[in-house]
Each structure stands twice: as C-alpha cells, then as structure tokens.
Homo-oligomer: A and B are copies of this chain.
Amino acid sequence: MVEHYDLTILTDDDYDVKYIGEQVKEIIKKSKISDGIISVITSHTSTGILVTEPLECIVSDLEVLLRRLVKDDEEYAHAHFLPTYGRTSANAPGHLRSILTGNSCMFPLRKGKMQMGAAQDILLMEFDGPQERMVFVEIIGE
C-alpha cells in the first residue's frame, strides 16, 4: 500500500527551524499502513530536512556552523537579476546550505509507530523565509 500526504509549514524568518516530527506522527495515526517506511521530502531547494536532537543549543550551534561554512555575504554568481524571480536573487547561501543539510529523511514504520531513537526529531530548515513550505510525507508498506 502507498499513501501520500502533504505537510504545509509556515516559517517565520529568513533563517528558521521547525521541528516537524510530531506532525509526521499525527499523519501516521491516520494511516492504514502499519509496517513499512516513512519518507519525508521537502519540495523546495532552499530548505533542508535533517534529523537531530531538538535542543535550542544544538540548533544554535548548527546555525553558527552553516553561516561559517556558507557565508551570508560572499560574492555569489546566483546574486543577480533573475527574470523568472522578477528580482535580484538573495538566496544563494540558502541553496548551498540546503545541499549540505540534505533534503529528505526516512524512518521505519513498525506496528503503526514511527521508529525513532529517543533523541531524534525531524527538522525542516528554512534558509529563504519566511514562506509557506510544503513537505511530502510518503508511507509505503502493508
């Protein structure tokens, strides 16, 4: 069996972090599939999906790291007027941070529950907000 869901998340800032593990668990409660795999995939190219411990201090260390590895104020080729955007693009660092963090995660679905380690949560990383973001949640199994 296959079930498709869309998760809509409003982000609040240019750089933002949303814990979405609970929302994925709410989706699973509605599912008819009890055993399989859950895939969580962002539909954007300036957001990331990653798994870590949902602590403010870790998230803040991650922000320092991502701003150090991918500078806000570098000279980016992408920082020019883009007709398709209708404006000068300012999200070059967002695209690059998105590539470093990755854009999806998976977890086992076992006996109706998403199997995660005790410290794990799923994070939607916003690198070009605030925006309404859409995340695919795919459940496949039996």
Taking Cβ atoms with an 8 Å cutoff, the residues of A that contact B are: 1-2, 4, 35-37, 39, 41-45, 50-53, 55-58, 60-62, 64-65, 69-70, 76-78, 80, 82, 89, 92, 95-96, 98-108, 110, 115-117, 119-120, 134, 136, 138, 140-142
How far does the alpha carbon of A108 sit from the alpha carbon of B107 in the complex, in Å? 15
Q: Are A117's CB and B61's CB within 8 A?
A: no
- Residues in B with CB closer than 8 Å to A101 are 99
Q: Given A55-B78, A119-B45, are A61 and B108 also a contact pair (CB < 8 Å)? A: no
When the two chains form their complex, are residues B37 and A140 in contact, meaning their CB atoms are under 8 A apart? yes
| Closest partner residue, chain B, to A44 (CB atom) | B117
Q: Once bound together, how far apart are the Cα atoms of A76 and B89, in whole Å? A: 32
Q: Which residues of B contact A107 (CB under 8 A)?
A: 41, 136
* Contacting residue for A69 out of B4, B51, B69, CB 8 A: B69
For residue A79, give the distance in angstroms from its CB to the closest CB of chain B.
Answer: 8
**Cross-interface CB contact of A65 among B50, B57, B70, B82, cutoff 8 Å:** B70
Closest to A47 in B: B117
B residues near A116, Cβ cutoff 8 Å? 43
Residues on the B chain within 8 Å of A92, using CB: 57-58, 61
